[in-house]
A and B are shown apart, each in its own frame.
Chain A
Amino acid sequence: GNSVTQMEGPVTLSEEAFLTINCTYTATGYPSLFWYVQYPGEGLQLLLKATKADDKGSNKGFEATYRKETTSFHLEKGSVQVSDSAVYFCALRGSGGGADGLTFGKGTHLIIQP
């Protein structure tokens, strides 16, 4: 079956530091890959996505590239802000067609200190 592995943290960084959150996946075929962000007490917000190999998703300074050869979708940001503090989930949706649920990683709690 499908699975997603990501570093759990917490990851603590200083403001303006470079961020990398690693995400690797196991899936058959060509899944779609996502990063969602969850702020305290809220639902999940789509941060970025990529639907095929070598696609780069980007939003709000965050980027991730779909690497099929390494089955990875690592999240990066060049300069983090205190407001980026949240839980980040890497997720995939299988390529089987039809409505299907997302498979999530365990989530990475990111703490940015001023």
Chain B
Amino acid sequence: DTEVTQTPKHLVMGMTNKKSLKCEQHMGHRAMYWYKQKAKKPPELMFVYSYEKLSINESVPSRFSPECPNSSLLNLHLHALQPEDSALYLCASSQPVGAADQETQYFGPGTRLLVL
């Protein structure tokens, strides 16, 4: 099973709202990632969690706040977003370092976010 699930599938929010995106995997992966993908562009890395600790933050604005409450879940909390933050937000996960297939990231279907 190589499934990563994301909820919600679609989200519309105003600039003053607070919302959260959720990502879940049950493959025993210990690295989880958030990417942002604008239309007709490749995904761009936002955050990396390794063993539930934030290891990479690609200079993402503080209105995006990641959280990894346990080894299976990854959240992205959103607050005071701007219309230019509208995009597809993709979650991915991979095996821990040293494990077989550690280099492969498996992606979820994404959450399509529209900020009005």
Interface residues of A (CB under 8 A from B): 32, 34, 36, 41-46, 49, 51, 89, 93, 97-102, 104-107
Contacts and interface: CB of A to CB of B under 8 A. Distances in A.
Contacts, number: 62
Interface of B: 2, 6, 31, 33, 35, 40-43, 45, 48-50, 55-56, 58, 88, 90, 92, 94, 97, 103-110, 112
27 contacts: A32-B104, A34-B104, A42-B110, A43-B90, A43-B107, A43-B109, A43-B110, A44-B92, A44-B107, A46-B104, A46-B106, A46-B107, A49-B103, A89-B43, A97-B97, A98-B97, A99-B33, A99-B48, A99-B55, A99-B56, A101-B45, A101-B58, A102-B45, A102-B105, A104-B42, A104-B43, A105-B42
B84 to A, nearest CB: 20
Q: Is the interface of B mostly helix, strand, loop or mixed?
A: strand
Nearest to B50: A99
Nearest to B110: A43
A32 B50 contact: no
A34 B101 CA distance: 12
A107 B55 CA distance: 27
A104 B44 CA distance: 8
B110 A99 contact: no
A107 B42 contact: yes
A88 B107 CA distance: 14
